[in-house]
Structure 1
Amino acid sequence: MSSTPRYRAIADDLTQKIKSGHYRAGEALPAQRELSASYGVTMMTLRQALQVLSGEGLIVQRAGRGTYVTQASAEYPLDTLRSLGDDLRRQGYPLRTEVLSAAIRQAPRSLTRLLDDAPSDRRAFRLARVRHLLGRPAVHQISWIVEPYASAIKGIDFTETPLYTALADVGARVHRATERVRPALLTALVAVRLQHPAGSPVFVSERATYDDQGALVVMDHATILGEWMEIRAERKATDLSLHWVSQR
């Protein structure tokens, strides 16, 4: 027999249905009497489950009108080495990756600055993709992968295979990363990719990932629609350092 309280199991089931898009943002949930009957529980048990969802920001209860699903807001934790895609999958969000381009190209200056003694004609693998959450484009991401990994992964289908899985399969041992996340406004070019108005608030993440020898493996640049993401960090004495910098 499961030790999970019935209200918690109902809350988990409703959470999964919201994150999978069964109940969409702005949509009303079925009436409480209908839900309690479908789960075979009392109204009190159902209301306990709804309180859990309300506390997690997944629903809002409007007096006399019903219970509505709020806009999805996935977490972007700063205290792991997982990729953005892996973090979203772990939170239960259905994620689809659309590959815009994947090719060996001349490395941009922003990448060569991170490499020791890099020649001006240094080449790397450029992977551009859009992440779709709940069927809508939410993240535009460009990753630059350096050699020897660039040539080893250039033929992989990244609509199905996560980048960091592919890197691990060819021997990359990710050890640490530096990341800067800043607020910005959506540029016209990326607005087309994300099908969202230019000038909308976004987060821009710039991340450099290194192997266990201190060599750069990947440089990532991600534009995340502000309405889709909230950034969270678990603060500990030694594990995480946050630096606040004036943008003026």
Structure 2
Amino acid sequence: MLYQAIPPHYARIRDQLAADIAQGRFLAGQKLPPERDLAERFDCTRVTLRQALQQLETEGLIYRENRRGWYLSPPRIDYDPTRLVSFMDYVRRQGREPLTELLSAERRRAGAWLAARMGLPSPDEPVFRLHRRRLIDGRPVLVEINTLLASWCPDLLDARLDRSLTTVLRERFGKVQTRCTLNLRLGTVNDDQAELLQLASGASNLVLERLNYAEDGLLVEFDQEFWRPDAVSVAVQADFPSRPL
């Protein structure tokens, strides 16, 4: 006789909530009932319920805002970080509403770590550091730090920096970046990032680091992006050579 294993209670709760979502019981961005009410509905402890909710969060179906509760995830934004398209443009092209908040902008010395990362001749090399937060449909999804060579765009801090940096560099300064190298990894948010992204401290995030080069091959920018992992889907287009290398 074959016996079918009974799935654990949290898995059954996960399946029922996933079915509710699929059937349109909750709308994108809508807040789910409080954990207390859900625990009563499924006759379980809060610990068991949170196992189910965390599973759904891992799958990108729901997300948690720190101290506010659980929400149904809106569709992820599609993002190709190798393409020279601004955040504002590619979000709008997908029918969503982008917003950029400038948190700080300053001129400073690069420091030893950044000088080594960008191959600068001295840690005293002046750079501009921009700290910005990006939102989609009013929801914080990305914290970004852009560090640019001050000698490449010396009047950058005179420009409006709560909009597309790509557009500012091109239209105001005639500067264009032509290629980049990327590093993509999973990380965890620090306390400041958690507050800005409405996550719990130590929650997972998607970290993208990009070195951007100007037309003459000069390395001009180090870009760090810290994404909510449930907000983005990274898809890179690549052209293969006509014959194998």
TM-score band (shorter)? Answer: 0.5 to 0.7
In the TM superposition, what is the alpha-carbon distance from 1:117 to its structure 2 partner?
5.1
Contact 1:125 1:150 in 2 (8 A): no
1:183 to 176, 181, 186: 186
Aligned with residue 134 of structure 2, among 117, 131, 134: 131
Deviation at 1:70, TM superposition (A): 5.2
Corresponding residue for residue 30 of structure 1? none
Following superposition of structure 1 onto structure 2, how do residues 122-201 of structure 1 map, counting pairs within 5 Å?
Answer: 122-159=125-162, 161-169=163-171, 170-201=173-204
For residues 137 and 111 of structure 1, what CA distance do their matches in structure 2 show? 27
Structure 2 length normalisation: TM-score?
Answer: 0.65
Q: Is the 8 A contact 2:88 2:99 kept in 1?
A: no
What per-residue deviation string (whole Å, max 9, x for no partner) do you get for residues 31-64 of structure 1?
A: xxxxxxxxxxxxxxxxxxxxxxxxxxxx9xxxxx
Q: Which ranges in structure 2 are unaligned for 5 or more consecutive residues?
A: 1-26, 32-60, 62-71
Query: How far, CA to CA, are the matches of 1:74 and 1:104 in structure 2?
Result: 32
**C-alpha distance in 1, partners of 2:146/2:240?**
31
Q: What root-mean-square deviation, in Å, do the aligned CA atoms of Structure 1 and Structure 2 show?
A: 2.5
CA distance in structure 1 between the aligned counterparts of 2:208 and 2:214, rounded to whole angstroms: 20
TM superposition shift of 1:26: 4.2
Residues 141 and 222 of structure 1 are in contact (CA less than 8 Å); yes or no, is this contact kept in structure 2?
yes
Is 1:113 paired with 2:116? yes
Q: Could you tell me the TM-score, scaled by structure 1's length?
A: 0.64
Quote the sequence identity (%): 26
- Report SS of the residue matched to 2:230: helix
Distance in 1 between residues matched to 2:153 and 2:114, nearest whole Å: 13
Indicate if the aligned counterparts of 2:86 and 2:167 stay in contact, CA closer than 8 A: no
User: Residues 189-214 of structure 1: CA distance to partner in whole angstroms, max 9, x if unpaired?
Assistant: 21012121122221101001101111
Q: 1:81–1:177: 8 Å Cα contact kept in structure 2?
A: no
Query: What SS does the corresponding residue of 1:113 show, helix, strand or coil?
Result: helix
Q: State the number of aligned residues.
A: 177
Deviations 1:54-103 (A, max 9, x none): xxxxx9xxxxxxxxx85320012144122444332332321111111011
Equivalent AA in structure 2 for residue 109 of structure 1: A
The AA in structure 2 aligned to 1:210 is Y
Tell me, which stretches of 5 or more residues in structure 1 are unaligned?
A: 1-22, 28-58, 60-68, 240-248
